Structure 1
């Protein structure tokens, strides 16, 4: 028996097989367009929110109207406020507090500074100031803090009651420079120990000169000798000095200088150089 199976036309089968990838491509494009539209909407919403935030922060209600400064004794309040560099109309919500603190710290008298907001209209600046620890003589006379920062230059008429450190050699410095070294720290320690020891009754150290060999010279002032010593074992050096001075039977003003650097003796030089 012969059966005749009817099949579709070959061209129609090819058309159906070609329609499937076209439909898949159209579906992919539709999804892609949807994703792009969603991204555009999200971007638009983000920009609108950002613009709204900018408008909110720039409202006149939040403009900086007052600035308070706390903890300042040496530096004038107006000087601290001016160092912020805040333009009129600046929003309290837009200022960079860390950047403002760094600006305040450029003043050598200020050791620590923090700036905080006081909503809705004010900023508060809290500072910790440095205090002068000594007069440092280099090319000129300067006030020096305990952490070795040059605070300011001294005028000729300024005579603070502070220890004076003289550099071993002339050097150029300026306010704001940090120059603390182990020699300078020891020089200040020498001054303190000399004052506490009261080795010379009624006399105070007017100036400490740093020597190039690690020694220090204590100048007692007009018509008084200079005393040269080491920073180590100062108490023992001053004890031997007091005993030797008493044994000499002479007043300290009769000597030109005294050398305490030797372990076994104290060297007195008279005004004539002997």
Structure 2
């Protein structure tokens, strides 16, 4: 006799389902609800704190604005600029510096930008550097470093005063200053545009003039028309330089210069008219015939 048993239906494959029943299932459900409530409460507290900070900052900003409006006239009176000191001027006049500052009457120390005022003052041709300091309650202090005249640049019939960096300081017209070296062979437009090659040429000319003046007397003249062949003259002697270092070329001449005195002491009088230093390791001396 066959006994037929019904097979249980197979369950679908899937994630495990919590099948706890009774008190255990109720306990788990309570824990979940409590966790949700605590999370909601935490979010609410965080939002409340952020709101309190926003309100506090708004109140603080309003208070500062109100205080500034109330204290503004008092602060303006306390820090009003009533005195300006100018230090370091020699060629520049005090009115010229004040004109560059362009300060309105009644302006306060706290209302000006020292960096901006310094840029205005430095726009003057003679002024190399300027420093502006606030010195409460009413003093604005200006310290100026002027450019130093280093050479006369002749362009056409006009003479210009220049510093060692090639900045034009003043136009002298036909007037000259023979205490300074004379530079020629330069273009006025190129100097005005501040071209680097011209500035470099002026700087080289000033350096060369100082080197020659340390060895020879008299005024130094330097022709800078050709940077590869600078020509200088002093006491009727013409010096030709190549495109190598001017300092090295002059040092080469200084080493052989004592030989001129020796030859003169031996009764052979030399009237040197030109010294050519354009060639490596050579000093070519040309004499008047």
Which has the higher mean CA deviation after the structures are superposed, 205-214 or 99-108? 205-214
Query: Which residue of structure 1 aligns with residue 206 of structure 2?
Result: 188
Q: Deviations over 1:173-217 (max 9, x none)?
A: 349888531x4333223222222223xxxx524311125252322
Query: Which residue of structure 2 aligns with residue 11 of structure 1?
Result: none
Match of 1:227 among 214, 230, 239: 239
Change beyond 3 A, Cα 1:125–1:93: same
Match of 1:147 among 141, 157, 165: 165
Q: CA deviation at 1:155?
A: 2.5
Contact kept, 8 Å, 2:81 with 2:109, in 1: the verdict is yes
Query: Which residue of structure 1 aligns with residue 82 of structure 2?
Result: 65
Query: Which residue of structure 2 aligns with residue 87 of structure 1?
Result: 104
Query: Which residue of structure 2 aligns with residue 163 of structure 1?
Result: 181
Q: CA deviation at 1:242?
A: 3.4
Q: Deviations over 1:10-47 (max 9, x none)?
A: xxxxxxxxxxxxxx9xx99x969877765553342232
- The 5-angstrom pairing of residues 1-274 of structure 1 reads 38=56, 40-59=58-77, 61-138=78-155, 140-167=158-185, 169-172=186-189, 173-174=191-192, 180-181=199-200, 183-198=201-216, 203-212=217-226, 214-220=228-234, 224=236, 226-230=238-242, 231=246, 232-237=248-253, 239=256, 242=260, 246=264, 249=269, 251=271, 258-261=274-277, 262=279, 263=282, 265-268=284-287
Q: 2:263, 2:207 → 1: CA distance?
A: 23
Which has the higher mean CA deviation after the structures are superposed, 225-234 or 33-42? 33-42
Q: 1:74, 1:209 → 2: CA distance?
A: 28
Contact kept, 8 Å, 1:108 with 1:175, in 2: the verdict is no
Contact kept, 8 Å, 2:179 with 2:219, in 1: the verdict is no
Q: 1:111, 1:47 → 2: CA distance?
A: 41
Q: CA deviation at 1:144?
A: 1.6
SS at match of 2:284: coil
Q: 1:122, 1:166 → 2: CA distance?
A: 46
Unaligned runs of 5+ in 1: 1-23
Q: CA deviation at 1:159?
A: 2.4
Aligned-CA RMSD value: 3.5
Comparing both structures, which one devotes a greater share of its residues to helix?
2
Q: Deviations over 1:114-153 (max 9, x none)?
A: 1112222221111111110111234643222123322222
Q: 1:118, 1:249 → 2: CA distance?
A: 69
Contact kept, 8 Å, 1:69 with 1:124, in 2: the verdict is yes
